């Protein structure tokens, strides 16, 4: 992974006193299963089976995405309606790759302002509309099925607001990103003539960030999505060329996750040391939680940000229960660096050790210090380092973790591409909102929720 500037280390990976030789032996014992998992991923992608489409996204033709991004870039504001995999990837790409606080530019500035309507909260929806009303706004609806209640409800509301303030039709200001074969959004695009982009049928929502779902708004706002996919393609080539777990970082990380779950560590902490990667940890949490949390198995993802959570979580991590695996991500060279001034005031003399220090270097020292403190406490640590955070390295990191997730699911013996628990909640919601075919689900939801309410104590 040297071309991408990404490295992975597995210091004290066994944790709690187990030596590296013991851990290497555990990896060796999993070697046949790891090789089978890699072959399973490759075969599924080659035949374009459901769920495996993410593996082929680095080679996709993005001409329609770039053309649509150019159109979007002409607007003052973009309202993106989606939830889960149709939303978190956008926030992750924007935060990592775009200038910080880019959204504070005035209406009419070169880059559109971006607003994500994910949670169906009336306070948030109204606040978004207040900020775009009167501007030239584009509306994007993202749902593979076109049936996601949280997305479709807000799409209807924003579309109605746009109709009420438009002098003409609104369909020319709307983009839908959906399945190519069917669903409400596909029907709407066909009948109303609005713009549309496709989500490949074999790509699941939480694996869709490198599809039109994530790429089109990133490109419209100025990110180099060609470089993002090039980085993913290079990572794919790297993983394919390293067949054994000793040289393949994705297989080794999958083995680490599986070993520590069996060792009684049911949580995995993702802790990047970069403000640009705070939402990256949130994106990973969805990818991981929905993929491996099944059949009573899986590890719970915990989002943390260094160095902020050194002051809120690391006490628990080092001195609390030994029930977590830690992944720390450091960025060696940051886009911006700040050198501190010389401390000359006598009243600040105790701070003289900070004279001429650099903030970015200090953040890296803190990442190393947290890793060292965890190792001293016998906790298992995966150390990841990026030479820099840019489109190519981020694309490679995304692909790497998607591979790790799929391979870990295979090692666990579950399907990492479905989400039966999510679907149950959707059916209950549809029933409670009055969809005829889900009336039985509404009765069941009321029955189970009644058990929750049965012990109510009012304050």
Which is catalytic among the residues 124, 226, 366, 426?
426
Q: 155 near 81, Cβ under 8 Å?
A: yes
Is 262 annotated as catalytic? no
In the three-class reduction of DSSP (H, G, I as helix; E, B as strand; rest coil), residue 267 is classed as: strand
> What are the E-state strand segments in 173-307?
174-178, 195-198, 267-273, 300-303
Which phi and psi angles does 95 have, rounded to 5°? -65, -40
Is 260 annotated as catalytic? no
Which is catalytic among the residues 150, 278, 290, 385?
290
What is the rounded distance in angstroms from the CA atom of residue 63 to the CA atom of residue 243?
33
Query: For residue 267, what are the β-bridge partners?
Result: 300, 324
Which is catalytic among the residues 191, 311, 336, 346?
311
The burial class, CB within 10 Å (0-12 / 13-18 / 19+), for 413 is exposed
CA angle 254, 259, 262 (to 5 degrees): 130
Q: Which residues are catalytic?
A: 290, 311, 426
């Amino acid at each position: 992974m040297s071309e991408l500037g990404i490295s992975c280390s597995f210091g004290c990976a066994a944790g709690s006193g187990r030596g590296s030789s013991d851990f290497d032996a555990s990896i060796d014992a999993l070697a046949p299963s790891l090789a089978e998992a890699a072959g399973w991923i490759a075969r599924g992608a080659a035949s374009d089976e459901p769920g495996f489409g993410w593996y082929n996204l680095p080679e996709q033709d993005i001409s329609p995405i770039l053309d649509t991004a150019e159109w979007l870039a002409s607007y003052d504001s973009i309202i993106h309606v989606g939830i889960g995999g149709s939303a978190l990837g956008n926030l992750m790409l924007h935060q990592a790759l775009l200038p910080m606080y880019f959204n504070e530019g005035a209406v009419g500035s070169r880059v559109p302002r971006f607003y994500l309507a994910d949670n169906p909260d009336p306070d948030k929806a109204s606040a978004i509309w207040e900020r775009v009303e009167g501007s030239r706004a584009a509306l994007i609806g993202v749902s593979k099925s076109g049936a996601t209640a949280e997305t479709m409800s807000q799409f209807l509301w924003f579309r109605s607001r746009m109709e009420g303030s438009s002098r003409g039709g609104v369909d020319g200001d709307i983009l839908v990103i959906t399945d190519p074969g069917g669903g409400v959004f596909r029907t709407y695009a066909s009948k109303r003539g609005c713009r549309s982009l496709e989500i490949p049928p074999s790509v699941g929502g939480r694996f869709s960030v490198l599809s039109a779902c994530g790429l089109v708004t990133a490109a419209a706002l100025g990110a180099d999505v060609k470089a993002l996919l090039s980085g993913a393609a290079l990572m794919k080539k790297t993983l394919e060329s390293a067949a054994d777990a000793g040289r393949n970082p994705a297989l080794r990380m999958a083995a680490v996750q599986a070993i520590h779950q069996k060792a009684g560590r049911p949580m995995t902490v993702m802790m990047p040391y970069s403000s640009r990667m705070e939402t990256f940890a949130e994106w990973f949490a969805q990818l991981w939680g929905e993929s491996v949390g099944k059949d009573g198995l899986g590890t719970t993802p915990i989002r943390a940000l260094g160095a902020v959570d050194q002051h809120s979580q690391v006490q628990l991590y080092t001195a609390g229960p030994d029930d977590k695996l830690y992944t720390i991500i450091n960025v060696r060279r940051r886009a911006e660096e700040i050198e501190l001034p010389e401390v000359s005031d006598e009243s600040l003399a105790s701070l003289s050790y900070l004279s001429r220090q650099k903030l970015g270097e200090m953040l890296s020292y803190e990442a190393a210090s947290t890793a060292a403190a965890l190792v001293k406490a016998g906790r298992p640590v995966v150390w990841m380092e990026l030479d820099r955070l840019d489109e190519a390295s981020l694309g490679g990191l995304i692909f790497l973790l998607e591979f790790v997730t799929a391979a870990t699911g295979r090692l666990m013996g579950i399907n990492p591409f479905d989400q039966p628990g999510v679907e149950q909640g959707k059916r209950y919601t549809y029933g409670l909102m009055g969809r005829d075919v889900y009336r039985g689900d509404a009765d069941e939801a009321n029955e189970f929720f009644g058990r929750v309410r049965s012990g109510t104590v009012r304050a």
